[in-house]
Amino acid sequence: MTRCRFLIVGGGIAGLSTAWHLARAGHGRETVLLEAEPHLASHSTARNAAILRTLSSDPLSTRIALTSADFLRQPPAGFCDVPLVDAKGLVLAAGPERADEIAGWLKAVGETPIRVEALSAARLRALSPAFRAEVAAAWSFPEEGRIDIGALVAGFVRGAQAGGVELCRDREVEELAVEDGRVCGARMRGGEEISADTTVLAAGGWAAGLGSRAGSRVALRPTRRHLLVTAPGPEARREWPVIWYFGSVAEGEFYCRPEGDGMLFCACEVTDVDPNALGIDPDVQGAIATKVARHLPDFAAAGVAHFWCGMRTLTGDGRFAVGPDPDLAGLFWVAGLGGAGMVCGAEVGRIAGRLLTGEPVAPDVETGLSPARLAEMRVGRGARQRSA
Ligand SMILES: Cc1cc2nc3c(=O)[nH]c(=O)nc-3n(C[C@H](O)[C@H](O)[C@H](O)COP(=O)(O)OP(=O)(O)OC[C@H]3O[C@@H](n4cnc5c(N)ncnc54)[C@H](O)[C@@H]3O)c2cc1C
72-108 per-position pLDDT tens digit = 999 999 999 999 999 999 999 999 999 999 999 999 9
CB of 343 within 6 A of ligand 1: the answer is yes
Ligand 1 centroid from CA 9, angstroms: 13
Ligand 1 centroid from CA 252, angstroms: 23
pLDDT for the residue 38 = 98
pTM, full prediction: 0.97
Q: Which residue ranges of the chain lie beneath pLDDT 70?
A: 1, 234, 378-387
pLDDT for the residue 378 = 65
281-317 per-position pLDDT tens digit = 999 999 999 999 999 999 999 999 999 999 999 999 9
pLDDT for the residue 233 = 79
User: In angstroms, rounded to a whole number, what is the distance separating the alpha carbons of residues 46 and 40?
Assistant: 9
CB of 220 within 6 A of ligand 1: the answer is no
Pocket test for ligand 1, best of 147, 244, 312 (most atoms within 8 A of CB): 312
**Largest interatomic CA distance in the chain:** 65
Work out which ligand 1 atom sits closest to the CA atom of 50.
Answer: 8
pLDDT for the residue 387 = 64
Looking at CATH, the fold of the domain delimited by 1-86+145-220+315-388 is given as: FAD/NAD(P)-binding domain (3.50.50)
pLDDT for the residue 235 = 78
Q: Which residues have C-beta within 8 Å of that of residue 234, sequence separation ≥ 6?
A: none
Alpha-helical runs (H) found in the chain:
13-24, 59-73, 99-108, 121-127, 149-162, 207-213, 282-295, 341-356, 363-369, 372-376
Looking at CATH, the fold of the domain delimited by 90-142+222-312 is given as: D-Amino Acid Oxidase; Chain A, domain 2 (3.30.9)
User: In angstroms, rounded to a whole number, what is the distance separating the alpha carbons of residues 30 and 24?
Assistant: 12
**Phi, psi for residue 67 in degrees, rounded to 5:** -65, -40
Domain ranges of the chain: 1-86+145-220+315-388, 90-142+222-312
- Are the CB atoms for 143 and 116 separated by under 8 Å? no
Ligand 1 centroid from CA 105, angstroms: 26
